[in-house]
Structure 1
Amino acid sequence: MRLDKFLKVSRLIKRRTLAKEVSDQGRISINGQVAKASSTVKIGDELKVRFGQKMVTVRIDDIKETSKKDEAATMYTILKEEPVHTTENQF
């Protein structure tokens, strides 16, 4: 599944266009590699997403084409949430 679609379906990011913008800005990595919106994700991949001043690391547990709001959180596990210091490297 494409990265931007996974972010929308899992509700990590609410809109697919916003997911595309965030990934095109280089704020998302898959298994340590900077990812584009068209990158393919699979179960077991580790995503790092920078939301403003916060870095969230998640592991993909399930991939679905669509999901209801209460199912969306079961698609991933949050491994780590940490503040981003502006002097540090993103990844």
Structure 2
Amino acid sequence: MRLDKFLKISRVIKRRTLAKEVAEQGRISVNGNTAKASTKLSEGDELAIRFGQKIVHVRVNSLREIVRKEEAETLYTIIKEEKIDDK
């Protein structure tokens, strides 16, 4: 599954176009490598997403095409969140 589609379906990022923009800005890495929106994900991949002043590290648990809102959080596990000090 594409990175931008996973982020939308899992509701980590609400809209696919926004997920694509974030990836194009180089703010997402998959397994330590900067990722594009079209990067193919596999179960077990680790994502690092920069949201403003924090980085969220997420592990992909499963890839499914259709997910109900209540089940979206089962697709990933948040490993850690870290704040960034821009000094």
Letter in 2 for 1:86: D
TM-score normalised to the size of structure 2? 0.97
Give, in whole Å, the separation in 1 of the partners of 2:85 and 2:69. 32
Length-normalised TM-score, structure 1: 0.93
Give SS of 2:73's match. helix
Match of 1:58 in 2: 58
Corresponding residue for residue 45 of structure 2: 45
Q: CA deviation at 1:51?
A: 0.6
- Counterpart residue identity of residue 28, structure 1: I
User: In the alignment, does 2:81 pair up with 1:81?
Assistant: yes
Unaligned runs of 5+ in 2: none
Aligned-partner Cα distance in 2 for 1:66–1:83: 32
Root mean square deviation, CA, Å: 0.7
Task: Quote the sequence identity (%).
Answer: 62
Name the residue aligned to 1:29: 29
**Cα distance between partner residues in 1 of 2:40 and 2:85:** 29
**Superimposed CA distance per residue, residues 30-73 of structure 1 (whole angstroms, 9 cap, x where no aligned partner):** 00000000000110000000011110001000101021111100
Amino acid at match of 2:62: D
Residue 73 of structure 1: SS of its match in structure 2?
helix
Alpha-carbon distance, 1:84 to partner: 1.3
Q: Which runs of 5+ in 1 are unaligned?
A: none
SS at match of 1:56: strand
Flag as ranges the 4+ runs of structure 1 deviating above 4 A.
none
